[in-house]
Amino acid sequence: MVSENKKDSERVDLNDPKLTRFDIYKEALRKDDIEILHYEPRFPTPGTKEEKRMERIVAMMFVLAGLFALGFVAVMAFWPWEYPGEVTGWDAWFKWQTPMLGITLGLSLAFFGIGILTWAKKLLPVEEFVQDRHDGGSSMEDRKLAEATIYNMTEDIGLKRRPLLKKAFLFGAAPLGLAAVAPLGGLIKDPGDSLTKTGFHPDHNDGQPVRLMNMDGSQLRPDMVSVGGQVTAFPAIPGGATNKYANSSTLLIHLRDDDAAELRENLYPMYRDADAVWGNFVAYSKICTHVGCPASLYEQHTHRLLCPCHQSQFNVVDNAAPVFGPAARHLPMLPISVDEEGYFYATQDYLIPVGPAYWNRPSLPEEVEE
Ligand code: FES
């Protein structure tokens, strides 16, 4: 600890015109009970070849950071991202949009970080300080000293006498800022009816009702699902089981007699009016209303459907109401029936949007009722 006497003996007159900025800086540190154990500029003679070489390396890092950040913005704006169906070759480049976003942003941040670290490790002075702890507010004198400290640090960083680094830093930082706001551009596009329409909408089948099919394309009949069992169903349209209709994944459940009776009693009028349940079969959206994982673990004894991601549970015999976990919405029900050829079909699209909540989605079934 620095004694008071020692502190007084070292005190300097801040109005002394002979004081250098470093003297004031030292005084600022002393006032703050900071002792300089070691202070040594990396390059005592400014402008040496070695210093210039190091500057160029740091500048290169910032330039690369800027180029990769611009690459990120370019991928965001121009890389194909829409699912065009089953394709190969050049048409399958949309699959690389997300990895390319990650690669370009990751490299940009990495080069920016390496640039900052190299600057600190190879260009800034080597310094070692110790400081005593103390309390209280700052006097005007202290503020003046703090100002000198900041100026001294700016001097040490060398932005003034290293214009190359200044420009390279700005070149790296500006596109990174752009990369941070570019994803907001995705909010500008109107999503149209993509949030409210699934592959079960008749529009996808020339106005005709859409049948339910397995992943392998075989169309579903009642005898294909045993009592208490369930199967994942997709719209029987071209590409119906692909990512193009990722919001259409549906769980077709064959309830036991007493469970089916209980569900019929509990049915919301909107589902009753739509004749949504066929026999002992009910179809719910498989997309968890929390954040969209597949909710597909059906426990027939408790008639609960469990989402494995965050353990939300839905009561299958009560309109798939959420009864546990973070999900707050019911799983929407798909109105189904069986046609004259014995295959399941959707009598209409989902009555409420599938998936997690969003700002202007129609409400929960009971709120729709109100
Ligand atoms: S996504 Fe289902 S509980 Fe979180």
Domain boundaries, the chain: 28-187, 202-369
> What is the whole-number distance in angstroms between the Cα of residue 5 and the centre of ligand 1?
66
310 lines ligand 1 (CB under 6 A): yes
294 lines ligand 1 (CB under 6 A): no
Mean pLDDT of the 231-260 span: 93
Reference 51, options 150, 185, 164; nearest CA is 164
> What is the whole-number distance in angstroms between the Cα of residue 295 and the centre of ligand 1?
8
pLDDT band at 364 (very low <50, low <70, confident <90, very high): low
Return the CATH number of 202-369, one of 3.40.50.300, 2.102.10.10, 3.10.580.10, 2.70.70.10: 2.102.10.10
Q: Where would I find the beta strands (DSSP E) of 97-160?
A: 126-131
Is 236's pLDDT higher than 90?
Answer: yes
Predicted confidence (pLDDT) per residue in 43-101, tens digit: 888 889 999 999 999 999 999 999 999 999 999 888 888 777 677 776 678 888 999 99
> What is the whole-number distance in angstroms between the Cα of residue 353 and the centre of ligand 1?
17
Percent of the chain with pLDDT over 90: 51
Contact 307, 293 (CB under 8 A): yes
327 lines ligand 1 (CB under 6 A): yes
Closest atom of ligand 1 relative to the 310 alpha carbon: 3
305 lines ligand 1 (CB under 6 A): no
Q: Where would I find the beta strands (DSSP E) of the chain?
A: 34-40, 126-131, 210-213, 230-235, 250-254, 281-285, 297-299, 304-306, 313-315, 321-324, 336-338, 344-346
291 lines ligand 1 (CB under 6 A): yes
Predicted confidence (pLDDT) per residue in 8-44, tens digit: 556 677 788 888 888 888 888 887 788 888 888 888 8
Tell me the C-alpha distance between 78 and 94, whole Å.
Answer: 11
Higher per-residue pLDDT: 176 or 7: 176
> What is the whole-number distance in angstroms between the Cα of residue 309 and the centre of ligand 1?
5
331 lines ligand 1 (CB under 6 A): no
Count the neighbouring beta carbons within 10 Å of the beta carbon of residue 172: 26
> With left for phi above 0 and alpha for psi between -120 and 50, is residue 80 left, alpha or beta?
beta
Q: Is the dihedral of CA 78, 79, 82, 88 positive or negative?
A: positive
> What is the whole-number distance in angstroms between the Cα of residue 297 and the centre of ligand 1?
12
pLDDT computed for residue 162 by the predictor: 82
pLDDT band at 296 (very low <50, low <70, confident <90, very high): confident
> What is the whole-number distance in angstroms between the Cα of residue 294 and the centre of ligand 1?
8
> What is the whole-number distance in angstroms between the Cα of residue 228 and the centre of ligand 1?
23
Reference 248, options 299, 279, 283; nearest CA is 283
The best mutation among 290, 313, 314, 323 to test binding of ligand 1, ranked by most ligand atoms within 8 Å of the C-beta, falls on 290
288 lines ligand 1 (CB under 6 A): yes
> What is the whole-number distance in angstroms between the Cα of residue 313 and the centre of ligand 1?
9
Reference 240, options 217, 261, 206; nearest CA is 217
pLDDT computed for residue 8 by the predictor: 53
Mean pLDDT of the 311-328 span: 94
Residue nearest to atom 4 of ligand 1 (CA): 310
In the block, which residue shows the tokens 């190299």? Answer: 118
Average pLDDT, the chain: 87
pLDDT band at 271 (very low <50, low <70, confident <90, very high): very high
Is 343's pLDDT higher than 50?
Answer: yes
Amino acid of residue 50: E
303 lines ligand 1 (CB under 6 A): no
> What is the whole-number distance in angstroms between the Cα of residue 29 and the centre of ligand 1?
54
- Give the count of alpha carbons within 13 A of 179, CB side only: 25
The residues near 275 (Cβ < 8 Å, ≥ 6 apart) are 335, 337, 347
